[in-house]
Amino acid sequence: AERFNETVPGPVEGSHALVERLAAAGVPLYCLTNFGDEFWQMFRPTQPIFDHFADIIVSGVEKVAKPEARIYEIVEQRSGREGAQLFFTDDNPANIAAARARGWDAHLFTDAASLEAQLAAAGLL
């Protein structure tokens, strides 16, 4: 477990810049991750990009993971938002389907350029 951070790939090119632009624009940011609790505790301190997020929902802490409906309910409760108020991106189609089932504005992540276009179309950038 001590070397876990070495196994995590780096950020997708352009993704950190998008987070920083959203934060600078005042867009409230929330993170939903399927990290395990123990590994998140090791990983989080090494990643200052997460300082931009108002809240981070970690499946290992919550004991429920994407795409289970309960994890999306937790995001809604903690963010105070629901349905189309939530713009969500993920690289797993099952997670996108689960978010869309709750009415979220969900987009399959493929690359930062596509996400940037989707964020702009949603009026967030």
SS3 letters across 93-125: HHHHHHHHHCCCEEEECCCHHHHHHHHHHCCCC
Q: What is the pLDDT of residue 5?
A: 45
Q: Among the listed ranges 11-15, 33-37, 66-70, which one has the minimum average pLDDT value? A: 11-15
In a domain, 111, yes or no: yes
What does the DSSP 8-state code read for residue 89? E
In a domain, 110, yes or no: yes
Q: What is the pLDDT of residue 9?
A: 52
In a domain, 17, yes or no: yes
Q: What is the pLDDT of residue 43?
A: 86
- Please give the average per-residue pLDDT across 70-93, as a whole number: 97
State the residue range of the domain holding 87: 8-119
In a domain, 125, yes or no: no
- Please give the average per-residue pLDDT across 30-57, as a whole number: 93
Q: What is the pLDDT of residue 13?
A: 79
Q: What is the pLDDT of residue 11?
A: 59
Q: Per-residue pLDDT tens for 49-71?
A: 999 999 999 999 999 999 999 99
What does the DSSP 8-state code read for residue 27? -
| Closest by Cα among 82, 80, 79, 34 to 59 | 34
In a domain, 124, yes or no: no
The CATH number for 100's domain is 3.40.50.1000
- Please give the average per-residue pLDDT across 30-58, as a whole number: 93
